[in-house]
Each structure stands twice: as C-alpha cells, then as structure tokens.
Amino acid sequence: NAGVTQTPKFQVLKTGQSMTLQCAQDMNHEYMSWYRQDPGMGLRLIHYSVGAGITDQGEVPNGYNVSRSTTEDFPLRLLSAAPSQTSVYFCASSYRPNRAINSPLHFGNGTRLTVT
C-alpha cells in the first residue's frame, strides 16, 4: 500500500517556466488537497478537491491550477513560475466526512521546488 505518492522529489525551475507536480493516492480517498510549507508560516492550502471533477480554491491559489479527472490523481500546475513559489509542496488526502467523519489527512513526502 503506497499511500500518497508525489513526484518529483526535487525540482529547479527558471522564472516563467511551467511544470506539473504529480500526486497519486491508492486509498480510494475522495478528498485531496495541495499545501505549501514555508518557514514560520506552517502549511497553507492551495487547492482542494472533494471528488473527481470537483475542485476549489484554498488560501493561496494564485499562480496554480489543478484538475481532478480521476479519484486517484490530483496534479498541481504552476503556470509561470515565480521566485515567490519557491517552497515545499505537499499533497494530502482523506475520506470525506459522510464516509468517515473525522478522517485525518494522509500526506505525501513532498516536492521541494526552487525557482531562480
């Protein structure tokens, strides 16, 4: 059971480049989300999805796009990378409350992104 898998582990981009961070889970979780972690700021929610075909914005969505075509995958796209997007990105998933109330989030191991 792999849990939540994120690729790549590390990435360096130049300003203006685009890329996609991949996230896949094999726990049949309906809910998936993306966070960024910056020193002293904890985790901030970028986008989330409560099921295939449904996405919504979190606290810091600007500069990022998501889609959810399957239950398993939730890729995060950086449209035009900026140095302010240098961060560690985490994907996380859980059951929806109507299936398992109080279900905790399960996290991937993160992608460390540097934009120069």
Partner 1 sequence: AQSVAQPEDQVNVAEGNPLTVKCTYSVSGNPYLFWYVQYPNRGLQFLLKYITGDNLVKGSYGFEAEFNKSQTSFHLKKPSALVSDSALYFCAVRDDNFNKFYFGSGTKLNVKP
Shortest gap between Cβ of 104 and partner 1 (angstroms)?
Answer: 4
- Return the H-helix or E-strand segment holding 57: strand 54-57
Tokens 């934009």, located at residue = 115
Nearest to 37 by CA among 85, 100, 71: 85
Listed in sequence order, the residues at least 6 apart from 7 whose beta carbon sits closer than 8 Å to its beta carbon are 21, 22, 111
Q: How far apart are CA 111 and CA 65, in angstroms?
A: 16
Binding residues for partner 1 (CB under 8 A): 4, 31, 33, 35, 40-43, 45, 48, 50, 56, 58, 90, 92, 96-97, 101-102, 104-110
Shortest gap between Cβ of 68 and partner 1 (angstroms)?
Answer: 13
Q: Which one, 10 or 14, has the nearer CB to partner 1?
A: 10
Tokens 């796009």, located at residue = 65
Q: Which one, 83 or 97, has the nearer CB to partner 1?
A: 97
Q: Which one, 52 or 82, has the nearer CB to partner 1?
A: 52
Shortest gap between Cβ of 73 and partner 1 (angstroms)?
Answer: 17
Shortest gap between Cβ of 16 and partner 1 (angstroms)?
Answer: 28
